[in-house]
Amino acid sequence: MKKFKKVLNIFLDLLIFILSPIFFISKMISSESVYKFLNSKKYIIYIITIFLSLTLFLLLYFLY
Amino acid sequence: MKIDILNSFFQIYSNYFFKNLNPFQLILVFITIFIIVFSTLKLMLINKKTLFIITFLIFNILFGVILSNFVFKESELFKNIVQFVFFMLIPIGCVLLITPDLREKLTDLLNHNKTNINIRKGDIQTRKEIVDAVFELSSKQIGAIITIEKYQPLDKFTDKAIILHSKVTKELLLNIFIPGTKLHDGAVIIRGDEIICAAAYFNLTQKDFLDKSIGSRHRAAIGISEESDALTIICSEETGTISITINGNMNKIETKAQLERYLNTFI
C-alpha cells in the first residue's frame, strides 16, 4: 500500500508539473474574490452566458 | 491512429451544420449552446471546488486543442501524447466533480506528508485549564468534544467552523458547551494555547465493531483520531464519563492525574 501511495504521489506530482500553468490559471479564476463577484448579482451570470455562448456560436460558425 | 475528437465530430455534421442551416435552425443551435453554457456556469457556482474543477477542465480542453492542432501539428507522436494526457483528464475531472468523498480522499492523499513544522505547543497553564474545564463539564453532565492538534493541521475542519482564535480558558470552554447555545454541538479545536474554532464537525468513524450505544460525539472523535494525529477529549452527555481518542483508539479517563499525564506526553 505504501509503495502504491509513493507511485501515485510521483505520478500526481508529474501530472501537476505538466499541468501547472493550467492549474495556476484555474486557481486564479476560482479565487475567493471571483467567486464572490459571480455570486454577488443575479444578472452577471446571464451576461456572461450570453457573451460566452455568442463567442462560441460565432467561433463554431466560422470554423465549421 | 489519428484521434481528433473535435474535428471528427464536426466532419460528420459539417455538410448540413452551420453553413447550410436556415435562420430558424441557427437560432435553435444558439439556444442549445446557451443552455449548455448556462448550466455549466450554474454548476461552477455551487462552491469554489466545482468552480476550480470546471475552469480547470475548460482550460484543459482549450490547451489540448491548441497544442494538438497548432503547436504539434506536424508531429503525429506528440499530437497523440498531448491528446491522451489532456483528454484523459476529462473523465477523471467529471468523476471528481460528482464524488465529493473521492475529492476529499485525493486532497488528503496529496496533503498527507504536509505537516506543520511551526507547531506551537500548549504550556502548563493551558493543560490545567483544559483538565479543569473537562472535569467540571463531566460533573455537570454536559456533553463536550475538544480536539488538540498535533503536527497535522486540521484546516479543512476549521474552514467550516466558527473561528475564535482566543486563549484557552476554563470559563470559555464551559461557556461554549452549555446546552442550547449555537456552538455547543460541534467540536472545539485547540492549537497550542489557542482555541482556533468551535462548532467543527468531523466525519464519523466507519468501524463496524463499535458498541451500538456509542453516540455520534464519540464516533466523530474516533473518526478524527483515525484521520489525523490529533488527541480528542470527549465528555459524555448521558453519563458524564470522560474518554480520550488517539490513533483510532478510545480510552476511558478516571482521574485528573490520568488526563494530565496523557496531555503532558501528548502536548
Helix (H, G, I), strand (E, B) or coil at A16: helix
The cell numbers describing B238, all together, are 448521558
Residues in contact with B190: Cβ distance below 8 Å, sequence separation at least 6, in sequence order:
B122, B126, B130, B146, B147, B148, B149, B168, B196
A23 contacts in B (CB within 8 Å)?
56
More confident residue, B33 or B112: B33
Q: Cell 490529533 maps to which residue? A: B230
The reported pLDDT for the residue numbered B109 is 66
| B85 Cβ under 8 Å from any chain A Cβ | yes
Q: Rounded distance, CA B138 to CA B188, Å?
A: 16
Ramachandran class of B89: left when φ > 0, alpha when ψ lies in -120 to 50, beta otherwise? alpha
- What is the band of B1 on the pLDDT scale with cuts at 50, 70, 90? very low
B13 contacts in A (CB within 8 Å)?
64
Q: Cell 502548563 maps to which residue? A: B124
Could B34 and A49 be called an inter-chain contact, meaning their C-beta atoms sit closer than 8 Å? yes
ipTM of the predicted assembly exceeds 0.90: no
- pTM > 0.90: no
